[in-house]
Amino acid sequence: MMTAPVVELHGVSKAFGPVQALSDVSLRLVPGQVNCLAGENGAGKSTLIRVLTGALRRDSGSYEIDGHPVTAPTPASVRAAGVQAVYQELSLLPHLSVAENLFMGRLPARTGIIARNQLETRARKALDEVGLTELSPHAIVERLPAATRQLVEIAKVLTADSVKVIVFDEPTTALTEAESERLLQHILRLRERGIAMLYVTHRLEEMFEIGDWVTVLRDGGLSEAGPISGYDEDRLITAMVGREISSLYPETHRHAGTPALRVRGLRRFDRSPSIDLHVGEGEILGIGGLLGAGRSGLLLSIFGAAPIVAGEVEVRGKSVKPSGPRTMMTAGVGLLTEDRKVLGLLPELSIRENVTIASLRSGSRRGLLPGREQTEEADRLLDSLRLRAGSYDQPVSTLSGGNQQKVLLARWLLTKPKVLMFDEPTKGIDVGAKGELYNVIGDLAGDGLGIIVVSSYLPELLGLADRILVLRDGAIAGELPGTATEEDVLRLASGAGGTDLPDGALPDGELQSGENESQDGGEVPAPRSATPPKPDDSGEVSRDA
């Protein structure tokens, strides 16, 4: 910290009406150092980043770049000064090529005509630098997987004329384990080049892998700051949430009841494998798999949001045709999607309106919108979920990621569901909010709901689930008990080995084509109850694109 900082914020405060988002926060970004910004959702991380990049004007405090005061920063002036950012929400233009996106506003040209050969050469160099050696500069961005788009965004930032500081805001959220590791190694190379970096992530293991310094925010204020070598995970979590978290996952023994949901012979496409699964009342069923295994698509098909060519669905013994989301909602099935901002929330509506919108039909009387009773019930649900908001009338877009997930959960709980499906429930959520959500999921199972959880994070999958189905190439590769290890899941997901399955596991492919249920009418053996393992922040599996 003896090196002069490239960027320094001192005593910065920012309020939105009565809500104090930042209060007297200081930050130093030093050349050749990775400063990890930690904190719960709502702690003020996003506000601090927006102040740093010129998207927000601070109410008070000082801002310096290379020792020179910055009085009225704008995004353009801050970028010109060398402060670049890689956001979780990408800035790429989907209908243009990769090369055009990389150099938008700086396209090489001669006499007003784009120099295509020069553009391709420069784009090839930029893509190679982030490991995208097989990606064509001519590829259209909207046709790329989410993980590839994230790496293109990073390559775009690195092509800037001046790069002194890079802010990484949750850069590995959409990346596979291998891609994440490649990105982290690239960040270490950038550190060797003397670039200062602010790294924001909810994955604690990433902070300890690449971080030099950690700045912890809590409730809009500076909680702690210091060399990351002086922290372990327990101390860092305590600094973030203000309390000790002994176990993230609910320590309960659940016993599956009669099937809350049963799927037989479900085929998403003409030549796709047949899927059979069931989840009992009071049971948490985990679904794992590698990139492109079809986990998210399976949930969308069960929910009626994606078409199927064959299959039967039963909800508590009653046959339901998954012809659309409304039909499945009426039957008692809810789905919290992975991309809550695009597929879940209505950002311009209020928190309360987002909660009640799925229950308008059942709550309306004589064509009128639901009245006070439903509104009061929605407020009670939000209170029970400990939603952090100044008012339930404020736009849902003003909430942090963890609180937005609570809004979606309250929406489905208001519909009185029998089955709830969670697709990446803790994506972009801090460790404190994760613990709260895990407890809620455990309580819902304890109340008799059937719960299905899709997760790329193996400790989460193993910590929550009583039973795990592993998908591979759109088919069920096998079933594991909740006591399985990360290696067991990876072995089935990748098709490696094929031997030495743990006690209670079903052989590879045994659940395919309905062999256990449809041919002889027999039931799949009920899984044995398992105590969730202690939390472990390692071993992540790739997310579906």
Please classify residue 372 by burial: count the beta carbons closer than 10 Å to its beta carbon, then call 0-12 exposed, 13-18 middle and 19+ buried: exposed
pTM of the model: 0.61
pLDDT-derived band of residue 368, with 50, 70 and 90 as boundaries? Answer: low
- pLDDT the model gives residue 379: 85
d(CA 390, CA 372): 20
Asked, for residue 249, whether it belongs to a domain, the answer is: no
In this prediction, residues 303-314 reach a mean pLDDT of: 92
CA–CA distance from 410 to each of 303, 328, 419, 447 (Å)? 18, 18, 14, 15
d(CA 37, CA 21): 15
Does residue 73 sit in the same domain as residue 215?
A: yes
Does residue 278 sit in the same domain as residue 353?
A: no
- The mean predicted confidence, pLDDT, of the chain is 81
Distance of alpha carbon 444 from the chain centroid? 21
- pLDDT the model gives residue 285: 95
> Which two structure tokens, joined as six digits, stand for 290?
């590698």
Beta strands per DSSP E along 50-119: 60-65, 68-69, 83-86, 109-110, 113-114
Tell me which residue has tokens 């594991």.
480
- pLDDT the model gives residue 142: 87
pLDDT-derived band of residue 536, with 50, 70 and 90 as boundaries? Answer: very low
Beta strands per DSSP E along 371-521: 419-423, 450-454, 467-472, 475-481
Q: Give me the helix-helix angle, 431-446 and 401-414, nearest 10°.
A: 10
- pLDDT the model gives residue 504: 43
Evaluate if residue 316 carries a pLDDT over 50: yes
d(CA 217, CA 390): 19
pLDDT-derived band of residue 9, with 50, 70 and 90 as boundaries? Answer: very high
Amino acid at 214: V
Asked, for residue 410, whether it belongs to a domain, the answer is: yes
Does residue 372 sit in the same domain as residue 519?
A: no
In this prediction, residues 396-413 reach a mean pLDDT of: 83
Does residue 303 sit in the same domain as residue 449?
A: yes
Does residue 437 sit in the same domain as residue 533?
A: yes
> Using only C-alpha atoms, what is the Rg of the chain?
24
N residues, the chain: 545
Does residue 454 sit in the same domain as residue 536?
A: yes
CA dihedral 235, 236, 239, 240 (to 10 degrees): -140
Lowest mean pLDDT among 23-37, 148-162, 365-379: 365-379
The residue out of 416, 439, 465 marking a domain boundary is 416
d(CA 9, CA 47): 13
- pLDDT the model gives residue 173: 74
Asked, for residue 132, whether it belongs to a domain, the answer is: yes
Does residue 310 sit in the same domain as residue 214?
A: no
d(CA 284, CA 256): 8
What values do phi and psi take at 9, rounded to 5?
A: -110, 135
Asked, for residue 250, whether it belongs to a domain, the answer is: no
Does residue 196 sit in the same domain as residue 302?
A: no
The residue out of 217, 244, 271 marking a domain boundary is 244
Lowest mean pLDDT among 169-178, 204-213, 237-246, 365-374: 365-374
Evaluate if residue 49 carries a pLDDT over 90: yes
pLDDT-derived band of residue 253, with 50, 70 and 90 as boundaries? Answer: low
Other Cβ atoms closer than 10 A to 515: 13
Other Cβ atoms closer than 10 A to 63: 22
pLDDT-derived band of residue 195, with 50, 70 and 90 as boundaries? Answer: very high
Does residue 216 sit in the same domain as residue 353?
A: no
Please classify residue 315 by burial: count the beta carbons closer than 10 Å to its beta carbon, then call 0-12 exposed, 13-18 middle and 19+ buried: buried
Asked, for residue 338, whether it belongs to a domain, the answer is: no
Does residue 411 sit in the same domain as residue 421?
A: no
Percent of the chain with pLDDT over 90: 35
Evaluate if residue 370 carries a pLDDT over 70: no
The residue out of 180, 212, 244 marking a domain boundary is 244
CA–CA distance from 288 to each of 65, 434, 479 (Å)? 45, 19, 10
Does residue 312 sit in the same domain as residue 421?
A: yes
Q: Phi-psi bin for 224: left (phi > 0), alpha (psi -120 to 50), beta? A: beta
The number of distinct structural domains making up the chain is 4
Q: Which domain holds residue 353?
A: 347-416
**Residue 167: which H helix or E strand, with range?**
strand 165-169
Percent of the chain with pLDDT over 70: 84
pLDDT-derived band of residue 275, with 50, 70 and 90 as boundaries? Answer: very high
- pLDDT the model gives residue 182: 78
pLDDT in tens, 213-232: 999 998 889 999 999 999 98
pLDDT in tens, 494-516: 776 443 444 444 443 333 333 33
pLDDT-derived band of residue 420, with 50, 70 and 90 as boundaries? Answer: very high
> Which two structure tokens, joined as six digits, stand for 395?
């736009």
Does residue 107 sit in the same domain as residue 142?
A: yes
- pLDDT the model gives residue 361: 61
In this prediction, residues 92-103 reach a mean pLDDT of: 90
In this prediction, residues 422-442 reach a mean pLDDT of: 81
Asked, for residue 185, whether it belongs to a domain, the answer is: yes
Contact yes or no for 139/97 (Cβ under 8 A): yes
In this prediction, residues 149-167 reach a mean pLDDT of: 85
Lowest mean pLDDT among 30-34, 73-77, 251-255: 251-255
Pairwise pLDDT comparison (174 vs 51), residue with the higher score:
51
Q: Phi-psi bin for 184: left (phi > 0), alpha (psi -120 to 50), beta? A: alpha
Report which of 187, 200, 184 is spatially closest to residue 240, judged by C-alpha positions: 200
d(CA 517, CA 317): 15
Q: Which CATH number is 535's domain given?
A: 3.40.50.300
In this prediction, residues 283-300 reach a mean pLDDT of: 88
d(CA 461, CA 318): 29
pLDDT in tens, 104-113: 877 887 777 8
Tell me which residue has tokens 């909430």.
399
pLDDT-derived band of residue 33, with 50, 70 and 90 as boundaries? Answer: very high
For the chain, percent helix, then strand, then coil, each to nearest 5? 35, 25, 45
In this prediction, residues 29-38 reach a mean pLDDT of: 95
